[in-house]
Amino acid sequence: MSPRPGFVLEVDRSTPQTLFWRGEGFGLERLPVGSRVIYGPEPLPALRDPDAAIRHALDHPLGDSAPLRSLLHAGMKLTIAFDDISLPLPPMKSPDVRQRVIEAVLHLAAEAGVDDVVLIAALALHRRMTDDELRHALGTRVFDAFAPHGLLLQHDAEDPANLVDLGQTDEGEDVELNKRAVESDLLVYVNINLVAMDGGHKSVATGLASYKSLKHHHNVRTMRASKSFMDRHHSQLHTSNWRMGKLIAQSGLKIFQIETTLNTDTFPPEMRFLQRREWEWTARDRASFLATSKALERTPPELARRIFHSVRAPHDLTSVQAGEVDAVHDRTLENVFRQQIVPVEGQTDILTMGLPYICPYNVNSIMNPILVACLGLGYFFNLYRGRPLVREGGVVIMSHPTPWAFNPVHHPSYIDFFEQVLAETTDLLEIESKYETAFATDPWYVHLYRTSYAYHGVHPFYMWYWCAHALEHVGKVIVVGGDRAAVRRLGFSPASTLADALEMASDVVGRDPSITHLHTPPLLLADVQ
C-alpha cells in the first residue's frame, strides 16, 4: 500500500482523543469540535539498496561537477566534513547514513591512494561529540581508522590558529572558516537533510564557520526576516548563507556536496502508535500506549530521559544526491517536500503543539526551558511555507513539563542566561545589545566549548533569537503542564491543563477561536495557503 499523503483532520464528535507529547511522556487531549489537526504524510519507503544508491550518486553527480572518483588522486589533501550530533532526530539506528556515505567515499579514496585525509565534524558553535557519538555516526571501521591517528577532528570555532578569513560578502558579512577545510584540494560535505532548513550552502558556511561569521545571520533582525527559515526563498538566514557560499566558491575552495534525505519513519515498532493516526490504533497500539504512559508517570525524570534518549529511529534513506551544491540542494529539497509537505488552508487563531523530549540541541541531554521555547516557537512554529499557521496576534499553546533543570556539562552558558539575563528582560533586542558580546567572549565558556562538551557561550542567545519571528507575530504563548516559575521566567503564561490554556487564550482571541493542532513528530511541513 503506497504511503498516504498528509492531511488536515477536522475534529468532530466521532474523533477519538488526540495524542499530545509532553517532553518525556505523552497524553491524550480532547480537542474541541471544529478544531483541525494536521497529520504529516506517511513515511515513504526507504531505498532498497542504499549503498548502491550512494555509489551511483558519487559516480553520477548533479550540476557542474565531475564524478568523485575522478576528483581523487594520490598526493591530494582531502577533507570530509559531516553533520554533527544535532541530526538526525531521533538518532538513527545503525548503520547511520553518514557511516554509509563516508565509507563509500573512503573506499574511493583508498583505491585512488589518497594519504592525507581528515574528517571534521562540522559543528559550528555546537558542543563537541563524545567518542561514543562519533562511533555511532561514523561506524567503528571509520572511527578506528581515523581517531587513533588524530585524523578525526571536531571543528573548533575558537581556535585562531585554525581559522582563515576569506573576506566579506557584498553586504559586508565576514566569512571565516576552518583552515584545514579551506586549504584542502577537495572538501566533501556529508549532509543529512532532515528538514528544509538544512543543507545547501548553509552546510559549509555555517557548519565550519566561527562566531565572527555567524553573528551576521544569527541575529534578531535576520531571524525576524526569515518567514520561515524552512523556506529558503523567503528566509534572510538562507539568503545570507547563500551569499557566503558564493564567496566561498569564488575563493577557490572546491566542494563536493553529498546530501541525503530520510523518510519520516521516526519510531521503532514498539512505539508505533506515536506515528499512527489515533483512530487507526489497533488493540496492540492502545495497549502499548496505556502501558507506556502509565509506566512513564511512575518513572523518575532522569531514568525516563535515559530511556527516551536511547531510542533509535528506523528512518532511512529516501534519496541521495551528490555534486555541485546548488543543483544538489534543489533536488534534495524536492525530496524533502515529497515526504513532508501537507497543504493547509488558511491560518488559525490558536496553534497547539505537544513538544517531544528531543530537539537538535539536547541529544543525550536535558531539555531546559530555553530549548523548550526554541523547539516550540523556533522550530515547530516555523514548520510552514507561505504564511504562518497561526494568524498575527494569535495564541500558541505548547505542552511540555519545562523543568527548571539544566545539564551543567552541555549547557553551562544556558544556566547563566536563564538565571541572569532572562531574569532581567526577555526583550530580544535588549538582550542582544546588552549581553551577547559578554557571553560570546567570556573565557570560561570558550574554555568549556573547546575542552569540554559544552555549547558555546553565545548559543543560548541563538536559541532565543530563533523565537524572534514567533514572538513578534504571536499575541500570547501558553505552556501547559510546565514548571510555573520557569515558564514565567521565559515570559510565557503557565497553565495546568489544555482546557485552562484555551480559557486563558480566549482573552486574546475571543470566545470562539479556530484551533489547529500540529501533530508532529513525525516531521511535516505545512504549505499554508
Partner 1 sequence: MSAAALPPRPRPDGSVRPGPFLLRKPTRPLGAEPLPVERGLGTSYDTAWARRYPVRLARAMLLDDVARPLLRASCAPTVFGLDHLEPLELPVILAANHSSHLDTALLLSCLPTRIRHHAVVAAAADYFFDRRLKATAWAFALGAIPMERTRVNRRSADLAAGLIEEGWSLVIFPEGGRTPDGWGQEFKGGAAYLAKRCLVPVVPVHIRGTRAILAKGSSTLRPGPTEVRFGDPLWPEADEDARRFAARIERAVALLADEAETDWWSARRRAASGSTPPFRGPEASPWRRSWSLPTSADPTPRRQRRAATEPDESPAPRRWRAKRSPASWPERQGD
Partner 2 sequence: MKALVFERSLPRFAAARLASAVAGSGHGVGVGPLELLEVDPPRLPGPSWVRLEPRLAGICGSDLATLDGRSSRYFEHVVSFPFVPGHEIVGDVTGGALDGRRAVLEPVLGCEARGIEPPCAACAGGHKGACERIAFGALAPGLQTGYCSDTGGGWSASLVAHESQLHEVPAALSDEAAVMVEPAACAVHAACSTAPPSGASVVVLGAGTLGLCTVAALRHFCLPGTLVAAAKHPAQRQLAAELGADQVVEPAEVMRAARRLSGTLALVTDAGRIERLAGGVDVVYDCVGSPESLEQSLAIARPGGDIVLVGMPGMTRVDLAPLWQREVRLRGAYAYGAETRPEGTRSSFDLAFELVAAARLERLVSAAYPLERYEEAVAHAAAAGRRGSVKIVFDLRRKSRGRTPSEEAE
**Cis-peptide, bond into residue 521, ω within 30° of zero:** yes
Considering only 61-69, 132-140, 325-333, 392-400, which stretch makes contact with partner 1 by CB under 8 A? 132-140
CA distance linking residue 96 with residue 405, whole number of Å: 30
| Torsional class of 172: left (φ above 0), alpha (ψ -120 to 50), beta (otherwise) | left
Backbone angles phi and psi of 431, in degrees to 5: -60, -45
Q: Does 405 bind partner 2 (CB under 8 A)?
A: no
Which residues, at least 6 apart from 74, have a Cβ–Cβ distance to it below 8 Å?
Answer: 112, 113, 114, 115
| Among the listed residues 323, 436, 322, 426, the one whose alpha carbon sits nearest the alpha carbon of residue 373 | 426
Q: Does 419 bind partner 2 (CB under 8 A)?
A: yes
Torsion of CA 145, 328, 87, 276, to 10 degrees: -130
Residue of 69, 73, 77, 93 that binds partner 1 (CB under 8 A)? 93
Nearer to partner 1, 70 or 140 (CB): 140
Compute the least distance from the CB of residue 19 to partner 2, in Å. 34
Contact 505, 520 (CB under 8 A): no
| Residue in 36, 135, 155, 391 binding partner 1, rule: CB under 8 A | 135
Stretch that binds partner 1, among 90-98, 238-246, 409-417, 485-493 (CB under 8 A): 90-98
DSSP letter for 40, please: P
- Is 442 an interacting residue with respect to partner 2 (CB under 8 A)? yes
**CA 179/CA 118 separation, integer angstroms:** 12
The answer to whether the CB of 4 falls within 8 A of the CB of 275 is no
Task: Report the residue number, 207 or 457, with the smaller CB distance to partner 2.
Answer: 457
Of 107, 284, 294, 488, the one binding partner 1 (CB under 8 A) is: 107
303 touching partner 2, by CB under 8 A: no
416 binds partner 2 (CB under 8 A): yes
| Binding site partner of 149, from partner 1, partner 2, none, Cβ cut-off 5-8 A by kind | partner 1
**Which of 282, 444, 499, 503 forms a contact with partner 2 (CB under 8 A)?**
444
Binding flags for partner 1, 149-188, as an x/- string (CB under 8 A): x-x-------------------------------------
The residues in 447-506 that bind partner 2, with binding defined as CB under 8 A, are 447
CA torsion angle 456 461 466 467 (round to 10): 150
The entry of partner 1, partner 2, none near residue 117 (CB within 5 to 8 angstroms by kind) is: partner 1
Q: Could you tell me which residues are beta bridge partners of residue 356?
A: 23
146 binds partner 1 (CB under 8 A): yes
What is the strand order of the sheet 525-528 is part of?
Answer: 341-344, 525-528, 384-385
- Binder to partner 1 among 28, 33, 52, 110 (CB under 8 A)? 110
Enclosing H/E stretch for 186: strand 186-193
The span of 230-238, 240-248, 353-361, 402-410 binding partner 2 (CB under 8 A) equals 402-410
Touching partner 1, residues 377-406 (CB under 8 A): none
In the list partner 2, partner 1, none, the entry touching 10 (Cβ below 5 to 8 angstroms by class) is none
The C-alpha cell 557561550 sits at 457
Residues 6+ apart with CB under 8 A from 457: 413, 439, 440, 441, 442, 444, 445, 446, 449
Query: CA end-to-end span of the chain, whole Å?
Result: 29
Using rule CB under 8 A, residue 113 touches partner 1? yes
Q: Which does 415 bind (CB under 5 to 8 A by kind): partner 2, partner 1, none?
A: partner 2
56 near partner 1 (CB under 8 A): no
Q: Which is nearer to partner 1, 44 or 78 (CB)?
A: 78
Q: What is the amino acid identity at position 342?
A: V
- With CB under 8 A as the contact rule, the residue among 409, 425, 434, 497 that binds partner 2 is 409
Positive or negative: CA dihedral 336, 340, 345, 347 = negative
State the residues that interact with partner 2 by CB under 8 A: 407-410, 412, 415-416, 419-420, 442-444, 447
Residues of this chain that bind partner 1 (CB under 8 A): 93-96, 103, 106-107, 110, 113, 115-117, 132, 135-136, 139-141, 144-146, 148-149, 151, 309-310, 312, 364
